Amino acid sequence: MDKIFLNNLKIDTIIGIHDWERELKQTLHFNLEIDWDIRLAAASDNIADTLDYGAIAQTIVEFVEHSSYQLIEALAEDLCTLLLSNYPIPKLKLSLSKPVALHGNNIAMIVIERPA
C-alpha cells in the first residue's frame, strides 16, 4: 500500500489536566501516515482521483482549535474517528505530541493506528 504523509502540522489549543494548562493554549504537533493507493491519481494527474490532504489538514485544524481535551489520548482517538468517518481512508497512523515541563523542555508523544 502506498502512503501519504502529512507532517509537522502545528495547532494551538487548550490541552492538559493542570489548571495552568486550562488557561493557556499549547502548540500540539501532528504527523499523519495515511494508507492510500496513488496509482489512479498518478495516471490522471487529477486531484479528484486522490486524497485531498489539504482538506484533511483543514479538518484537523478546525477540530483541534475548537477542542478542549484534558488528555492527548482522547484528542487523538476522537480525531482519528473523525477523519476515518469523513474520508475514505483505509488505515491511519497518527502521531501527536505536546510540550511538557518535566526536566527542562520535553515532549510527550503518542502514536495510534486505526483501520477504517
Catalytic positions: 98
Using alpha carbons, select from 116, 87, 109, 95 the residue that is nearest to residue 7. Answer: 95
DSSP 2: -
Using alpha carbons, select from 113, 102, 82, 109 the residue that is nearest to residue 3. Answer: 113
What's the Rg (C-alpha) of the chain?
16
- Residues 106, 43: contact at Cβ < 8 Å? no
Question: Per the structure block, which three cell numbers stand in for 19?
Answer: 489548571
